A and B are shown apart, each in its own frame.
Chain A
Amino acid sequence: MTTETRQKLILVVDDEPDVITYLTTLLEDNGYATDSAVNGTEAMAKLRQLKPDLITLDISIPEKSGVRVYREMKEDPDLAHIPVLVITAVTGYGGKPEVFEQFLSSRKHIPPPEGFIDKPLEDREGLLRKIADLLA
């Protein structure tokens, strides 16, 4: 961590306080700045206000689901470039993340999310590598 380079800011969106604590601790330990949101409305507000470098997004969150947050982001020219890592325990669609990924991007030529990670995190180092790649 050099003082010249600004710390990258990651927004953690999840309604489970435990997940927020876990991910923010993990990310801060690896040199990132973090902020968090516990529902879709708060997530959209913080996205616009903070313009984070990346977000981790849970799908089953109150007020505005992760799916809606994702679509709204990708349709907003100011936010569309921000990489999104979906981190979810949603097990629909036969438990296949690819199918869910397709669903997320099924409308209006929305691209699939930059990353899709199942809860619990089976490969913590892999997640960190993925984030580093996306922020490079």
Chain B
Amino acid sequence: MNEHKTHISSYGSHLLVLLILITLTVVTVAITSVQLGAFNTTAAMIIASTKAAIVLLYFMHLKFDDKIFRFMVTLVLAIYAVVIVITFFDYLYR
């Protein structure tokens, strides 16, 4: 049935991913107390998106799974991005 071998992530790699995610969480908390003006929210969102990408790629296995999954997720995120852009265009220039 499935000819290609399944990729098995090691415990160590999961641990490493976990440590990176916790580090990013600490960074995002720390950055809140630094005065960066409007960039604070941007920074928080960039860090959150990075964490989300790591979870999707490694924990949710998109990096190693069939390409179809990566394609579907990208498509849905693109649709969501379009919805955001249209909503705010409508909202800001009404």
Q: Do A and B bind each other?
A: no
| Interface residues in chain A, defined as those with a beta carbon under 8 Å from any beta carbon in chain B | none
